[in-house]
């Protein structure tokens, strides 16, 4: 409808979208690359949202996690032998640094929410801007690579990379996607199948019930935000290792953390549902790159598709809210 109203052939547009997403091996690899990041950032949002905490700061946690990954690898690389074993050690250190940094950056607004009743939407949004500004200054200043014409850090060693499996492309590995799927599965089990997950959800929506059952609701809110931030940090680590190989100023990094909110909404905040939702958004992002180069149709129309998807997902809840306000919901 949007495409036709804009004066373009919708059939040709859909054909271009499919070709840009799954037309050949390069398109599939590009789609899976974006899907990997969307799954992880979407899970980060979903974990917090399921507990009734609105973590709008995934973008900032993603940024600080990726930056911590690169800096920790560059710092430790001279002390570790080169080669496959050294690369694995450095990647593990990078992931650990990302999880700690992202988790700590999310724990701060979580603690403010739990112990001072500060609005977490405001604090997480503001922390996004702080992350962008602080990391941008660090990359342009103290950590700028000596041989870099652009404002980037030094490149991490070439042996610090995921193996190329199935798709022989420089910025995607099935290992990265596998990590995203494992994280999604583990957190789905944690939230749905364990008492700890039940405590997380109860602490967010029914603090009095949580307290009655002996759960420290405030502490659980902080724990939930920490887990959410750790996942966002891991997403930043995969972005830094698999896609960039260095770290640039955050202004040049896509808005994965913001788009993840729509991914989570589409998945109804279900960590497993985030996988197909991430694939959809990954395909649309991949198609945007293709259409921009191979079609006269404006790639911005894909943003309209994303907007419609989110609108249709949100529409049932809007109708329910309207029914409750007008007394038409059937409740006495």
Average pLDDT (99-112) is 97
Tokens encoding 296? 């006269």
pLDDT of 36 > 60? The answer is yes
Q: What angle do CA 228, 231, 234 make, to 5 degrees?
A: 150
Q: What is the DSSP letter of 273?
A: T
CA distance 236 to 257: 10
Dihedral Cα 45, 49, 53, 55, nearest 10 deg? 20
pLDDT score of 273 more than 80: yes
Are 80 and 94 contacting, i.e. CB atoms less than 8 angstroms apart? no
pLDDT digits (tens, 9 = 90+) for 126-175: 999 999 999 999 998 899 887 666 778 999 999 999 998 888 898 999 99
Residue that has been written with the tokens 């032998």 in this structure? 81
Q: Give the tokens for residue 316.
A: 């049932």
Domain interval for residue 283: 2-326
| 59 falls within a domain | yes
Chain Cα centroid distance, residue 3: 28
Whether 184 has a pLDDT exceeding 70, the answer reads: yes
Q: Measured between alpha carbons, how far is 225 from 81 in angstroms, rounded to an integer?
A: 36
With a cut of 60, say whether residue 13 has pLDDT above it: yes
User: Is 262:311 a contact under the CB 8 Å cutoff?
Assistant: no
CATH of the domain at 94: 1.10.3470
331 in any annotated domain: no
CA 121 to chain centroid: 17
Kindly tell me if the per-residue pLDDT of 295 is higher than 80: no
Mean pLDDT of the chain: 87
Residue 271 falls inside a structural domain: yes
Q: pLDDT-based confidence at 60, cuts 50/70/90? A: very high
Q: What angle do CA 172, 173, 178 make, to 5 degrees?
A: 125
**C-alpha span between 140 and 271 (Å, rounded):** 36
Total of domains in the chain: 1
Q: What is the mean pLDDT of residues 33-55?
A: 94
**CB environment 113-122: b (16+ within 10 A), e (fewer):** bbeeeeebee
Neighbours of 161 (CB within 10 A): 16
Kindly provide the b/e burial profile for residues 48-75, where b requires at least 16 CB atoms within 10 angstroms of the residue's own CB.
bbbbbbbbbbbbbbbbbbbbbbbbbbbe
* pLDDT reported for residue 301: 74
* Tens digits of residue pLDDT in 80-89: 999 999 999 9
Which pLDDT score is estimated for 318? 59
Position with higher pLDDT, 10 vs 245:
245
Token pair in block for residue 24: 């050949």
Cβ neighbours, 10 Å, residue 312: 10
pLDDT level of residue 312 (50, 70, 90 thresholds):
confident
Q: What percent of the chain has pLDDT over 70?
A: 86
The answer to the question of residue 332 being in a domain is: no
Which one has a higher pLDDT value, 15 or 267? 267
How high is the pLDDT of residue 320?
63
Higher pLDDT, 212 or 144: 144
Least confident of 109-123, 178-192, 233-247, 293-307: 293-307
Is 30 contained in some domain?
A: yes
């Amino acid at each position: 409808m949007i495409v036709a109203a804009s004066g373009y052939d919708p059939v040709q547009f859909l054909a271009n979208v499919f070709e840009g997403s799954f037309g050949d091996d390069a398109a599939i690899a590009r789609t899976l690359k974006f899907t990997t990041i969307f799954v992880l950032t979407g899970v980060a949002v979903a974990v917090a949202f399921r507990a009734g905490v609105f973590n709008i700061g995934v973008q900032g946690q993603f940024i600080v996690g990726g930056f911590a990954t690169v800096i920790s690898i560059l710092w430790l690389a001279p002390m570790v032998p080169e080669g496959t074993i050294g690369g694995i050690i450095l990647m593990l250190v990078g992931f650990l640094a990302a999880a700690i940094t992202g988790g700590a950056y999310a724990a701060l607004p979580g603690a403010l929410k739990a112990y001072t009743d500060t609005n977490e939407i405001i604090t997480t949004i503001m922390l996004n801007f702080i992350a962008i500004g602080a990391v941008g200054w660090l990359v342009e200043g103290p950590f700028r690579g000596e041989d870099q014409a652009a404002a980037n850090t030094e490149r991490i060693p070439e042996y610090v990379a995921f193996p190329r499996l199935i798709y022989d492309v420089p910025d995607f590995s099935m290992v990265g996607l596998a990590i995203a799927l494992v994280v999604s599965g583990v957190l789905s089990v944690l939230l749905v199948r364990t008492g700890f997950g039940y405590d997380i959800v109860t602490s967010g929506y029914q603090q009095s019930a949580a307290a009655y059952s002996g759960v420290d609701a405030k502490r659980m809110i902080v724990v939930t935000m920490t887990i959410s931030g750790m996942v966002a940090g891991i997403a930043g680590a995969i972005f830094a290792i698999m896609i960039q190989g260095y770290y640039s100023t955050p202004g040049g990094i896509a808005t994965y953390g913001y788009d993840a909110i729509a991914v989570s909404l589409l998945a109804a905040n279900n960590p497993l549902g985030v996988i197909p939702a991430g694939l959809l958004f990954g395909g649309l992002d991949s198609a945007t790159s293709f259409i921009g180069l191979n079609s006269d149709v404006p790639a911005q129309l894909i943003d309209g598709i994303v907007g419609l998807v989110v609108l249709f997902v949100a529409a049932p809840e809007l109708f329910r809210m309207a029914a409750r306000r007008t007394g038409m919901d059937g409740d006495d």
